[in-house]
Structure 1
């Protein structure tokens, strides 16, 4: 995988991290008024380019039981980034710790990375992709 591909993938991970942080962030925000609400048709942004296969994909997974781990691990070994919802396991501390330990082992094995996003999301990355743990700050306009 070339440096350009890795740079683009890392940039996408950072953008997604910022999006997820804004979406699930803990910052206090003022209430929006109905006049400020703008409906956006997200479908126009979801263009799928099926003719162009990608070197790496960003996959989303729910980790609800130990049975979900093999597919998540497979995706990491295949070189994909996986955003994992660990919320379904938060009431089963033992299973959650065991699952995170296994994911850490896989990421270490492929020389990837694993990082938590809030309390219910984890990003696991494959070979050559590291997650920068510093938050990007806007410069303001």
Structure 2
């Protein structure tokens, strides 16, 4: 018995010719190449927030480096508040990882607060 016969369940009414192999490129073409991307960003000043907001509004995931700012810096507090509003608007998520990274997700994506290997 061949592999397709096993997949099809042996004596079913379908043959291997009834099935079409799907190609990822066909999927991307059919969906306009749309898919979530992961962006790495560095926040040096307030203007860097614009590109991050645009990416999240477009449905992308962003990991932002905030090492240039002290976590007690009023600028970084303002930036985090602004990005928190974006996450709320798109029903995404925002998490600060340590003192140096922000993780922002688009609509419907959440970041677990539990470590996998804890």
How does the TM-score come out when normalised to structure 1?
0.58
Tell me how large the CA RMSD over aligned residues is. 2.3
1:108 maps to what in 2?
88
Runs of 4+ in 1 over 2 A off after TM superposition: 50-54
In 1, are the aligned partners of 2:87 and 2:105 still within 8 Å (CA)? yes
Q: In the aligned structure 1, how far is the partner of 2:74 from the partner of 2:55?
A: 24
How does the TM-score come out when normalised to structure 2?
0.69
SS of 1:82's partner is strand
1 or 2, which has the higher helix percentage?
Answer: 1
2:63 maps to what in 1?
83
Matches within 5 A, 1:1-141: 53=33, 55-90=35-70, 93-137=73-117
Structure 2 unaligned blocks of 5 or more: 1-24
Structure 1 unaligned blocks of 5 or more: 1-49
In 1, are the aligned partners of 2:71 and 2:99 still within 8 Å (CA)? no
- Greater RCO, CA 8 A, separation 6+: 1
